[in-house]
């Protein structure tokens, strides 16, 4: 373990599955913002990320796009032997790439972010090589071994002799290659987490540490600003994020279909800002849009650069966050609050910790089309409520969710860990 001396800059190795311009959600964007903020505060930061879509990226000395990724690969199409062979290669290349990076960078601390599509073994290698390391958890990755491809395939009971033989061979080969066995419980030196929900979800079940550091997430309030004229038109509704089934976009469309019929809304506009990676789900939504008579109301913007989002927020009055899964956080909620939108969100996971129901936003039951429609409908029935929620949301964002406060906390914590 390297200890920081007074003449050195603290040197951090950040590990993330994706890094902008390659990203699919707020986790990767947040990682990039923290990286930039740490550099501005005097840290030397190197980012280790996957080679996924690296052809789209410019070369940067401090960003290493070399880790193999299983993102988007369907290994189930292969037979047991070939599948295990590919996983073994993935783990071996991961090990070589990571250990080579550790030798080159010599970090005082390794800071892990989203590892989905990479390998859980990365943290084992950091620990085995006596590096101080910690996590910033934004999702459910660490709770379930099945999320990690290698762990899933070497721990799932074999249901036939071929699979059993293949797995035993791979485990032995992995042992010879120095690939650590899958661990259900890991022990970081520290963990940053943005919601109490995430701590309760993981603590004692998959993550074991005595250093849990609550770190509310934050937004740049200079970047996301409310329009000069307060929100007054509830007809302009926005969804930001992945257009995916677990995000509940179908719930929102059905709810707006009910509202259009109930209020005879001719000028209703729903803007969908985010990528849809499933053609099947896109087709399902198109059918719902037609069925709900919303064909003239829905605008698809697709994937967008973060820098374009403030203008999109400024053109709308309400953000609906209709997620139907246990949402760990919800960065877009904080962006919308900062931009002065009224937020209507499903009461799921850590979302309820961000919104004071009835004061800084409205909450509805996940997957409940009627409840979603009723909550959005309140903003049509009571124009004053729309203005109040907008003002209170912005005030809450400025006092509780400032990104500068997040950086102050993270940089202070990391500096202490580097000096221990």
Residue range 236-401 in CATH 3.10.300.10: no
- pLDDT, one tens digit per residue, over 218-243 is 998 888 988 776 666 889 999 999 99
d(C-alpha 271, C-alpha 233), whole Å? 14
d(C-alpha 378, C-alpha 384), whole Å? 10
| 192, 328 Cβ separation under 8 angstroms | no
Give, for all 420 residues of the chain, the pLDDT tens digit: 555 655 689 999 999 999 999 988 788 989 999 999 999 999 999 999 999 999 999 988 899 999 999 987 777 777 666 777 888 889 999 999 999 999 999 999 999 999 999 999 999 999 999 999 999 999 988 887 777 877 777 777 767 776 677 667 777 777 778 887 777 788 999 999 999 999 999 998 889 999 999 999 999 888 898 877 666 688 999 999 999 999 999 999 999 999 999 988 889 999 999 999 899 999 999 999 999 999 999 999 998 888 899 999 999 999 999 999 999 999 999 999 999 999 999 999 999 999 999 999 999 999 999 999 999 999 999 989 999 999 999 999 999 999 999 999 999 999 999 987
Per domain, the residue ranges of the chain are: 11-218+404-418, 236-401
Q: If you classify domain 11-218+404-418 with CATH, what class do you get?
A: alpha beta
> What pLDDT is recorded for position 130?
93
Q: Is 297 left (phi over 0), alpha (psi -120 to 50) or beta?
A: alpha
> What pLDDT is recorded for position 79?
67
Closest CA to 267 of 276, 259, 255, 275: 259
> What pLDDT is recorded for position 161?
76
pTM: 0.87
- CATH topology match: 11-218+404-418 vs 236-401: yes
Query: Dihedral through CA 359, CA 362, CA 364, CA 367, nearest 10?
Result: -150
Could you give the 3-state DSSP secondary structure of residue 133? strand
- pLDDT, one tens digit per residue, over 340-360 is 999 999 999 999 999 999 999
Helices (H), 188-240: 196-202
> What pLDDT is recorded for position 37?
95
264 CB-contact burial (10 Å; exposed 0-12 / middle 13-18 / buried 19+): exposed
Distances (CA, A) of 2 to 129, 131, 159, 187: 11, 7, 46, 19
| 345, 351 Cβ separation under 8 angstroms | yes
């Amino acid at each position: 373990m390297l200890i920081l001396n007074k003449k050195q800059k603290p040197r951090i190795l950040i590990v993330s599955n994706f890094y902008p311009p390659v990203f699919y959600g707020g986790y990767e964007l947040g990682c990039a913002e923290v990286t930039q903020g740490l550099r501005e505060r005097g840290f030397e930061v190197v980012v280790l990320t996957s080679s996924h879509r690296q052809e789209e990226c410019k070369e940067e000395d401090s960003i290493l796009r070399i880790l193999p990724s299983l993102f988007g690969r369907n290994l189930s199409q292969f037979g047991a032997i070939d599948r295990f062979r590919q996983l073994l290669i993935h783990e071996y290349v991961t090990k070589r790439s990571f250990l080579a990076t550790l030798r080159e960078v010599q970090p005082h601390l390794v800071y892990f972010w989203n590892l989905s599509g990479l390998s859980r073994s990365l943290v084992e290698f950091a620990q085995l090589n006596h590096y101080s390391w910690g996590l910033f958890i934004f999702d459910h990755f660490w709770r379930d071994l099945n999320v990690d491809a290698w762990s899933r395939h070497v721990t799932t009971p074999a249901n036939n002799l071929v699979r059993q033989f293949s797995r035993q061979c791979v485990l032995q080969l992995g042992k010879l290659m120095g690939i650590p066995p899958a661990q259900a419980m890991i022990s970081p030196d520290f963990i940053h987490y943005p919601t109490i929900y995430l701590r309760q979800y993981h603590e004692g079940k998959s993550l074991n540490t005595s250093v849990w550091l609550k770190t509310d997430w934050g937004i740049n309030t200079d970047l996301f600003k409310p329009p000069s004229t307060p929100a007054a038109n509830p007809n302009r509704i926005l969804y930001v994020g992945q257009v995916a089934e677990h995000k509940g976009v179908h719930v929102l469309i059905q709810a707006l279909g009910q509202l259009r019929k109930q209020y005879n809304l001719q000028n209703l506009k729903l803007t969908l800002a985010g990528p849809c990676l499933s053609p099947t789900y896109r087709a399902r939504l198109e059918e719902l849009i037609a069925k709900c008579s919303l064909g003239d109301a829905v605008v698809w913007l697709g994937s967008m650069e973060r820098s374009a989002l403030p203008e999109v927020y400024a053109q709308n009055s309400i953000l609906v966050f209709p997620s139907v899964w246990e949402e760990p956080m919800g960065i877009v909620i904080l962006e919308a609050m900062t931009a002065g939108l009224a937020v209507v969100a499903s009461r799921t996971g850590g979302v309820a910790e961000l919104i004071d129901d009835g004061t800084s936003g409205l909450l509805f039951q996940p997957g409940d089309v009627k409840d979603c429609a009723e909550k959005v409908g309140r903003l049509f029935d009571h124009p004053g409520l729309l203005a109040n929620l907008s003002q209170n949301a912005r005030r809450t964002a400025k006092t509780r969710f400032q990104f500068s406060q997040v950086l102050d906390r993270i940089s202070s914590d990391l500096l202490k860990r580097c000096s221990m």
